Amino acid sequence: MEKLLGITTGVFIHEFEDFLNDLYYYIKYIKENYRGDKTFLFGHNMGGLITVYYAGYTKNLLIDGIITSGAAVYLGRVPLAQKILLTTFSRIYPRKKNQTTHQS
Rounded CA separation 70/52 (Å)? 11
* 87 within some domain: yes
> Left if phi > 0, otherwise alpha if psi is -120 to 50, otherwise beta: which for 62?
left
For residue 100, the cross-strand partners are: none
The per-residue pLDDT for 8 is 66
Please report whether residue 6 resides in a domain: yes
- CB atoms inside a 10 Å sphere around CB 69: 11
Q: Which domain holds residue 78?
A: 2-92
59 part of a folded domain: yes
pTM exceeds 0.75 for this model: no
Please check whether residue 99 lies inside any domain of the structure.
no
Q: Give the pLDDT confidence score for residue 9 in this predicted structure.
A: 65
pLDDT over 90 at 100, yes or no:
no
Q: What is the pLDDT of residues 29-80, one digit of tens each?
A: 998 998 888 889 999 988 999 999 899 887 777 888 999 998 887 767 888 9
3-state secondary structure of 24: helix
In a domain, 83, yes or no: yes
Residue 74 lies in a domain: yes
**Quick one: 2 exposed, middle or buried, by C-beta within 10 A (0-12, 13-18, 19+)?**
exposed
The count of structural domains within the chain is 1
pLDDT per residue as tens digits for the range 22-35: 899 999 999 899 88
Whether 65 maps to a domain, the answer reads: yes
